Copies of this chain bind each other. A is one copy, B any other.
Amino acid sequence: MILGAIEAGGTKFVCAIGDEQGNIHERAVFPTTAPEETMAHVIDFFRPHRIEAIGIGSFGPVDLRPDSPTYGYITSTPKQAWAQFDFVGTMKQHFPVPIGFDTDVNAAALGELRWGAAQGLDSCLYMTVGTGIGVGAVVEGRLLHGMLHPEMGHMFVRRHPDDAFAGICPYHGDCLEGMASGPAIERRWGKKGAELADRHEVWELEAFYLAQAIANYILVLSPEKVITGGGVMKQTHVLPLVRRHVQELLNGYVQHETILEKIDEYIVLPGLGDNAGVAGALALAAAANE
């Protein structure tokens, strides 16, 4: 089966031609500028191929309610040019094939479950820490949706007693995204995370916030694997700190061997690296064609 995949992010679109086994035959990256421009690149990329279905994992907020008049739209995003953009409808005009549509983080969670770090499991959580903080989840083999799609990145967390930073979330100030996203790190310390690699206190604080949210996700969803990706997690010294804080917070309460004794195998980096999202979009395409 020839499938098209789009991981639509706020800074770039990753497109791929691949198949239902997660193989990626061809891959291209386009910057996220105006919809007309970016979508023209996307359409040109797919046109030569006889694609049988398309999967889209998109930045949001997006409308995922199949019975909604704006199903398949990017809705009230602060990226003005993309607000109320009919993503699925635009693709359908050019490619009249089945189209699967979900959030970028849900696509990544699905990709990791099928072919990555959570392969063979029934559930996982995928958290990306970068420009924003987004989280997708698979529960009993199915992507987690609700009344709206989850917005776990905005979880309310406890402030560190030594941290006076106000937070940068325009809605909540010091929610998780407001305290621990890439731009929050830069605003608090006056430098980008990549330039702070050797400052232990930066990453201790980062882990303090990420671990609280992960502990709460575990208490709510009890996933079989927690996968952490995105630019901030490329500071690979963060993850061991996160694991330690999660264990300390839960304090033996969640009595499962993998948390008590094998946390290095429980909270992990993406098995698919930067291809989790686009691979997940292939899985969305395959599912749409079933």
**Contact partners of A158 in chain B: CB under 8 A:** 156-159
Q: Does A95 contact B (CB under 8 A)?
A: no
Q: How far is the CB of A118 from chain B (nearest CB, A)?
A: 11
A174's nearest neighbour on chain B, judged by CB, is B158
Q: Does A40 contact B (CB under 8 A)?
A: no
Are A172 and B256 neighbours in the complex by a CB distance under 8 Å? Answer: no
**Contact partners of A38 in chain B: CB under 8 A:** none
Are B152 and A249 neighbours in the complex by a CB distance under 8 Å? Answer: no
Q: How far is the CB of A154 from chain B (nearest CB, A)?
A: 6
Give CA–CA (A156, B249) in the complex, Å. 9
Most central of A159, A219, A256, A258 by chain B CB within 10 Å: A219
**Contact partners of A76 in chain B: CB under 8 A:** 255
Give CA–CA (A229, B87) in the complex, Å. 42
A212's nearest neighbour on chain B, judged by CB, is B156
**Contact partners of A255 in chain B: CB under 8 A:** 61, 76, 148
Are A156 and B216 neighbours in the complex by a CB distance under 8 Å? Answer: yes
Q: Does A150 contact B (CB under 8 A)?
A: yes
Give CA–CA (A45, B103) in the complex, Å. 51
Partner of A219, one of B61, B123, B151: B151
Q: How far is the CB of A121 from chain B (nearest CB, A)?
A: 9
In the complex, per-residue mask of A44-82: 1 if CB is within 8 Å of any chain B CB, else 0:
000000000000000001000000000000001000000
In the complex, per-residue mask of A205-244: 1 if CB is within 8 Å of any chain B CB, else 0:
0000000100111011111100000000000000000000
Are A150 and B221 neighbours in the complex by a CB distance under 8 Å? Answer: yes
Give CA–CA (A139, B256) in the complex, Å. 23
Q: How far is the CB of A151 from chain B (nearest CB, A)?
A: 5
Q: How far is the CB of A156 from chain B (nearest CB, A)?
A: 6
**Contact partners of A171 in chain B: CB under 8 A:** 250-253
A139-B146 CB under 8 A given contacts A156-B158, A171-B252: yes
Partner of A151, one of B140, B156, B254: B254
Give CA–CA (A252, B151) in the complex, Å. 13
Q: Does A91 contact B (CB under 8 A)?
A: no
**Contact partners of A139 in chain B: CB under 8 A:** 139, 144, 146
Give CA–CA (A144, B138) in the complex, Å. 11
A75's nearest neighbour on chain B, judged by CB, is B255
Q: How far is the CB of A223 from chain B (nearest CB, A)?
A: 6
Q: How far is the CB of A87 from chain B (nearest CB, A)?
A: 18
Please provide the 10 A-B residue pairs with the shortest distance between their CB atoms, ordered closest to farther: A146-B222, A171-B253, A147-B224, A147-B222, A220-B220, A171-B251, A151-B219, A152-B220, A148-B222, A158-B158
- Interchain Cβ contacts under 8 Å between A and B, 12 examples: A140-B142, A146-B221, A147-B222, A147-B223, A148-B222, A148-B255, A149-B222, A156-B157, A156-B212, A157-B158, A158-B159, A220-B220
